[in-house]
Amino acid sequence: MAPLNQSQLDKLAKKLNEDNQALLREVRNELENSGDQHRIDLLNREPGDTGDESMANALADFNVAILDRHIQGMRDIEAAFQRIKDGEYGVCTDCGDDIDFKRLQAFPIAKRCIVCQEKREREYAQEGHPKM
Residue that wins the pLDDT comparison between 132 and 103: 103
Q: What is the pLDDT of residues 14-71, one digit of tens each?
A: 999 999 999 999 988 888 876 555 545 544 555 556 666 676 666 667 778 888 999 9
Coil vs helix vs strand at 109: coil
Measured on CA atoms in the order 47, 49, 53, 58, is the torsion positive or negative? Answer: negative
The full set of domains in the chain, from first to last, is 6-126 (1.20.120.910)
Residues 6+ positions from 56 with CB-CB distance below 8 Å: 41
Q: Other CB atoms closer than 10 Å to residue 24's CB: what's the count? A: 15
Q: What is the pLDDT of residues 71-96, one digit of tens each?
A: 999 999 999 999 999 999 999 999 99
The reported pLDDT for the residue numbered 129 is 58
The reported pLDDT for the residue numbered 52 is 61
The reported pLDDT for the residue numbered 125 is 79
The reported pTM is 0.75
Of 84-93, 101-110, 121-130, which gets the smallest average pLDDT?
Answer: 121-130
CB 108 within 8 A of CB 80: yes
With a cut of 60, say whether residue 130 has pLDDT above it: no
CB 94 within 8 A of CB 112: yes
